[in-house]
Amino acid sequence: MKILKTLRELCRDRQFGLGAVMLLVLAVLTLLTLFSPYDPTEWRVVAHDLPPSWGHLLGTSSLGQDVFWRMTFALRNSVALALFASVISRVIAVTVGLVAGYSGGVVDRVLMFFSDGLLVIPLLLIIMLLAVLVERLSLTSLALLLGTISWAWAARRIRSQILTLREREFTYTAILSRTPTRKLIFNEYFPFIIPLVLSGFISTMIWVVGMEIALAFIGLTDLSIPTLGAMIKWATSYQAMLLGYWWWLAAPVGISIFLFVALYLVSVGISEYLDPRARMQRVGAK
């Protein structure tokens, strides 16, 4: 019941509502992969370079693939990649932030040393170097790589919150009453850091999708796997726009922008809902 009440309150926000509807449309597109008449990895399954029509809603490519059905698989894989990498990133960020903030001392300094290193070093250069070493990154290895290097900023935010909470009276009361550390963290600290985790989760998804597109465009990922970046790479490699096959490039670019906008609107809606000042303004308006 509490979850339904929260969803109703969120949906009252126009930005979140619009973003949620857009994400629902994208979810339907990903589910269509279950009914695809074509194998997304096969070439020359349809006629080449056909414009959009009732038979091929978004036309066909120079590779002999139906662009619409290829796009649904690409969207599914890119979203799955973003979700997997974001979960890994949040788990690491929460663990590091909690341990560093609560323990303090040497443990805090060591963990923040690694965190500061990731914040200072250009991540794209690290990814490109690792991609060159392993030749081409699969979706799983890319998700693991992006997830394990994108936690630093979130970990510092969570650590700052824990440092503040550690000085609150309820912490001293819990310690004096010999409350187990695990119970103190999960029962008292977690409600304060959940908003930070949620607000950063979607932002990480946006970053992961954008990074995948950039790496695929450079040619550092496995282009045989349909992703949004791989579709854009193939279209530009075959000079789709120059030859007039605009639909081949417009489909992945358009759906990528649609995905970015949807995630951004949902992120803004959640952030405003979790912001105490914004919630007080809504109460005052009522």
- Residue 178's pLDDT is 75
- Residue 1's pLDDT is 46
- Residue 209's pLDDT is 94
Report pLDDT digits (tens) over 53-81. Answer: 998 999 999 999 999 999 999 999 999 99
- Burial tier of 41 (Cβ tally within 10 Å: 0-12, 13-18, 19+): exposed
Both tokens assigned to 11 = 């949906």
User: Distance between CA atoms of 207 and 150, rounded to whole angstroms?
Assistant: 9
- Residue 9's pLDDT is 66
- Residue 8's pLDDT is 66
Contact by Cβ (8 Å): 46, 286: no
- Residue 5's pLDDT is 58
User: Distance between CA atoms of 240 and 247, rounded to whole angstroms?
Assistant: 8
- Residue 165's pLDDT is 80
- Residue 35's pLDDT is 92
Contact by Cβ (8 Å): 228, 255: yes
- Residue 24's pLDDT is 94
Question: Strand, coil or helix: what is 237?
Answer: helix
Torsion of CA 275, 278, 280, 286, to 10 degrees: -140
SS3 readout for 211-259 = HHHHHHHHCCECCCCCCHHHHHHHHHHCCHHHHCCHHHHHHHHHHHHHH
State the pTM of this model.
Answer: 0.86
| Low-confidence spans in the chain with pLDDT less than 50 | 1-3, 280, 282-286
Q: Give the residue extent of every domain in the chain.
A: 59-277
- Residue 275's pLDDT is 62
Pick the CATH number of 59-277 from 1.20.1270.10, 1.10.3720.10, 3.90.950.20, 3.40.50.300: 1.10.3720.10
